[in-house]
Amino acid sequence: MSVSLDENADAIVDRLTKDFVVGAAVTSVDAETPFIAPQKVINRAALADMSWIVTPTLTLTTTPGEVKDLTVVVNQGMVGRGVFPFYAQFTTMNDPDYWLDTYDSPPAPEALITFMGGCLLDTTNLEFGTGLVNLRNVYNVLRLATGGTAGFEWDGDRYLYQGMYFMAVSQHRIALNERDWSGGDESTGWHSFLPDKYLGECKPTLDPAVTLGAASADGVTYTNITGNAVTYNAIDSVQNFAFNSGTWDWTDGLAPYDNDSTMGLYINCRVIGAYDFPTVVGQIGNATVDILDITERNGNALPGWGMGDYLDFDIGANDSTFGRFPYSAGFVFDRNASGTRVVCGQIKLPFNFCNDVADPYYEPTLVNAKAIDQDQGMFGPDAFLDSAYYYTTLPQDNYGHNVSAAAQDRAAYFTLATHDFAPSETYTVAIANYMVMDNPGSPTVVPQVANQLNKWMGYGRGDVNNDNKIDLADIIYLANWINYSGPGPIPFMFLGNLNGASTGATYDNADVMYLVNYYFADGPCPEGILKNTGKSTDADNW
Residue 520 contacts residue 474 (beta carbons within 8 Å): no
**The pairing of beta strand 398-399 with beta strand 368-373:** parallel
- Residues 6 or more apart whose CB falls under 8 angstroms from that of 100 comprise none
Query: H/E element holding 372?
Result: strand 368-373
**Strand pairing partners for 27?**
90
SS3 of residue 142 by DSSP: coil
Q: What is the pLDDT of residues 321-380, one digit of tens each?
A: 889 999 999 999 888 888 888 999 999 999 987 777 777 778 899 999 998 887 778 887
Q: What is the pLDDT of residues 395-440, one digit of tens each?
A: 888 887 665 666 677 889 999 999 999 999 999 999 999 999 876 6
SS3 of residue 155 by DSSP: coil
Transcribe 418-429 into DSSP letters.
EEEEPTT-EEEE
Q: Angle formed by the axes of helices 509-521 and 472-484, to 10°?
A: 170
SS3 of residue 51 by DSSP: coil
Query: H/E element holding 10?
Result: helix 5-16
Q: Tell me which of 137-146, 244-253, 441-450 is least confident.
A: 244-253
pLDDT at 191 over 90: no
pLDDT at 4 over 70: no
For the chain, domains (ranges, CATH) are: 1-118 (no CATH), 123-456 (2.70.98), 460-542 (1.10.1330.10)
Residue type for 335, please?
A: R
The closest of 238, 222, 257 to 114, measured between CA atoms, is 257
Computed over every residue of the chain, the mean pLDDT equals: 79
Q: Rounded to whole angstroms, how far apart are CA atoms 377 and 370? A: 13
Label each residue of 388-414 as H, E or C.
Answer: HHHHCCCCCCEECCCCCCCCCCEEEEE
Helices (H) and strands (E) in the chain, counts: 5, 23
CA atoms within 13 A on the CB side of 490: 18
Residue 242 contacts residue 172 (beta carbons within 8 Å): yes
What's the pLDDT at 48?
45
pLDDT at 26 over 60: no
Q: What is the pLDDT of residues 97-119, one digit of tens each?
A: 655 555 555 666 777 776 767 78
**The pairing of beta strand 287-296 with beta strand 302-313:** unpaired
**Strand pairing partners for 372?**
411
Q: What is the pLDDT of residues 299-326, one digit of tens each?
A: 889 999 999 999 999 888 888 888 999 9
Q: Read off the pTM.
A: 0.81
